Chains A and B, each alone.
Chain A
């Protein structure tokens, strides 16, 4: 079985992010591997260990993703492709999905495992769109993957009221939830081996396509502006007799807040 996992480098959202003039201030930003993609990598490595699958990672973007890819190598990924093209700096989800489609078609993969969303945009679109563009089954929010045979897997998907068990014919795309596993810490030997592995880096031309062909020049959506999160106003504090306070709060909720 050949598995393709998609990995995105995202801004570390746990640190303070500043917005100025409608744009994110780049200075001081730190980048990490998208947490859900780390779950996808772990899922792929577990399938590799249990079923001798061959695992390939693809990362998209503009700039150096080597540190992130080395970490995934240290976790146990076999091969890595980085599509490094400055045109992708501001690409939208459908454009990314088109690039992934090209990568998928250049290989001979049985299964694509992606994080269900990226922690920077929370869009949750690229993986599902990839399934659509390829015309193959896609199951989202997956919390377990079992290999049935060479051409079938059975996945569990987290729903509001319970767990859905879905039989899927390969090739297919699954997007995984963070409930699927606990990504491993790389072992020391893995880190030492990771530095020796080759990363295949190519731009869109190297992939045999162009920004125009994948729809990047006429994007379906465009980020116009970033706005900082508004600071919450201070609340009101009431002191005194409980009966009086209750009457005043109810009156404010009806007349000012208009929630009752």
Chain B
């Protein structure tokens, strides 16, 4: 078993680190005052294929393996989790379902502009009465002679304020039990964006409510087959969880790195606080959890690439990485003391950003359900 990253993964990490440190780092704190990402920064990311990470070459992407994908998201999130969120949601739950379930025509129509970064992806499942219970979707798709007409409201949509290609979960007027997925473009009449949410963290990402009022789309904008929504959603979320795990890991590593530097530099009682056993224990605990997170994440990614089932592995990675992000950022603030509670220090931002990784793309409680189901259905 080789735990050393291969040369390709090292080169990808180094390349993204260089971009993140030089281009994103100087603006990350300003971006946090959000919402929205600087246009010129997004432009610089386009030719580097950050918007088409796992898209095949013939559709304009970089065709990365899942470990490389996780590394890119991790390194961007280490500097700006909100931008990392934009990238991972766009690539995983935005593009992946079209690649996996779309017809060739749908792939050729929607994927190239998304891979080029010209159209940002969003995934609309959550509603006022539908979150962990995906069966509670109330948005309705009414069949017409020309296609479908959508009516409903989606909330907490990541990338909502900048989205161009939107996957919408809706039930049909004749079958309210099973949802289907529809591809909606942002210029479609009847589609509109609500106010940007005022959230605790990830403040650069324009998370918003999206409204569909008599929003008519052609028949060929239905992804997969009618009634396949749950299957598409679960499959998309399995992939998405690798991305969110990577994002959480990036946040944890950022908070850890800041903590180590600060503990060495900060003097109290005429010595660096890193000399105190309590601080050493904190750092050791943080390091162990981060390492364990990394191993779980890269195992899930390798599992996906090998073609094996990876649902439980992705859930374990997401659960552990997000728990680690919350725990490590909390200790990072503690190590920084009063300064850590100030917006002058990046750990305050990491602390706010970390929490939601335990909530979105399946709460930690849902991850445990996925893991337990896998355990209990294994052949004995």
Contact = CB atoms under 8 A, between A and B. Distances in A.
Interface string A198-226: 00000000000000000000000000000
A185 B15 contact: yes
Contact of A192 (B19, B47, B63): B63
A2 interface: no
Given A66-B7, A70-B7, A70-B8, A191 B15 contact: yes
B48 A192 contact: no
Contact of B50 (A66, A188, A194): A188
A188 B48 contact: yes
A80 to B, nearest CB: 14
12 contacts: A66-B7, A67-B10, A70-B7, A74-B15, A186-B15, A188-B49, A189-B57, A189-B63, A191-B8, A191-B62, A192-B63, A195-B7
B61 interface: yes
Interface string B7-36: 110111001001100000000000000000
Contact of B64 (A186, A192, A194): A192
Interface of B, secondary structure class, is helix
Interface string A161-198: 00000000000000000000000011111011011000
B48 A187 contact: yes
Nearest to B18: A185
Nearest to B62: A188
B139 to A, nearest CB: 35
B332 interface: no
Q: 8 tightest A-B contacts by CB?
A: A188-B62, A188-B49, A189-B62, A187-B48, A195-B8, A187-B49, A189-B49, A67-B7
B162 interface: no
A102 interface: no
Interface of A: 66-67, 70-71, 74, 185-189, 191-192, 194-195
A187 B48 CA distance: 4
Interface of B: 7-8, 10-12, 15, 18-19, 47-50, 53, 57, 61-64, 68, 72
Contacts, number: 49
Nearest to B8: A195
B370 to A, nearest CB: 30
B11 A67 contact: yes
A255 B32 CA distance: 60
A120 B12 CA distance: 25
- Which interface residue of A67, A71, A187, A189 has the most chain B CB atoms within 10 A? A189
B50 to A, nearest CB: 7
B35 to A, nearest CB: 26
B8 A192 contact: yes
Contacts of B64: 188, 192
Contacts of B18: 185
A89 B15 CA distance: 28
B12 A191 contact: yes
A212 to B, nearest CB: 34
Contacts of A74: 11, 15
Contacts of A71: 11
A75 to B, nearest CB: 10
Contacts of B68: 188, 191-192
A71 B47 CA distance: 17
A69 B15 CA distance: 14
A74 B47 CA distance: 13
Contacts of B15: 74, 185-186, 191
Nearest to A186: B15
Contacts of A195: 7-8
B8 A187 contact: no
A4 B7 CA distance: 25
Contacts of A187: 47-49, 62
